[in-house]
Amino acid sequence: MSRSIGEVAESAVVLAIKQGLTVATAESLTAGLVAATLADTPGASGMLQGGVVAYQNSVKSAILGVPADLLGAVGSVDGGVAAAMADGARRACGADVGVSTTGVAGPLAHDGKPVGTVYIGIATADGSVAYAYSFEGDRPGIRAQAMSAALERLLECLVQADLPHVK
């Protein structure tokens, strides 16, 4: 049985607080849904540092530090961009963990990527990584799936950080 979004967010908040870790978000296609869902959870102020809604490439570059040459070469919907966004959020907000979303919610393809293409980035002081997804549905549905995937990846990162051999 899968957990609800609220349960995933609550688990992430509780685990981050238990570990003394803070989180920041960088969101493009989800435009703040990840941060808002975390903030809906009681106790989130103990772990959520802040977030950046970086819809435009100029914001990705200027605020989050995503290299302009990377954006120029691959566009905004790319795993490398997602990883850089997550790291930029972590650094800009002074957080232990950064989580990012970028992708194509539709109705039209973007930067040569089909509707439903999504990348979730996760960053810690040890480095950053991106995960690729291909979602189906309408614009709100794809955005909701991306938000859910970002929270799942955040929780996964926090669970791994809780393992004795990782600390």
pLDDT in tens, 35-78: 999 999 999 999 999 999 999 999 999 999 999 999 999 999 99
Of the chain, the percentage scoring pLDDT greater than 70 comes to 96
The SS3 call for residue 5 is helix
pLDDT at residue number 160: 92
pLDDT in tens, 100-138: 999 999 999 998 999 999 999 999 999 999 999 999 999
Q: What separation, in Å, do the N-terminal and C-terminal C-alpha atoms of the chain show?
A: 30
| Residue 18: per-residue pLDDT | 96
Does 150 have pLDDT greater than 60?
Answer: yes
Q: Is the pLDDT at 167 greater than 90, yes or no?
A: no
Answer for the pair 150, 143: CB distance below 8 angstroms, yes or no: no
Q: Is the pLDDT of residue 161 over 90?
A: no
Residue pair 111/77 in contact by the 8 Å Cβ criterion: yes
Q: How confident is the model at residue 165 (pLDDT cuts 50, 70, 90)?
A: very low
Burial of 163 (0-12, 13-18, 19+ CB in 10 A): exposed
pLDDT in tens, 11-25: 999 999 999 999 999
pLDDT value of residue 3: 86
CB 132 within 8 A of CB 59: no
Closest CA relative to residue 26, chosen from 118, 106, 122: 122
User: What 3-state class would DSSP assign to 24?
Assistant: strand
Task: Give this prediction's pTM.
Answer: 0.95
Do residues 134 and 116 touch, judged by C-beta distance below 8 A? yes
Q: How far apart are CA 117 and CA 109, in angstroms?
A: 9
Q: Tell me what pLDDT residue 163 has.
A: 58
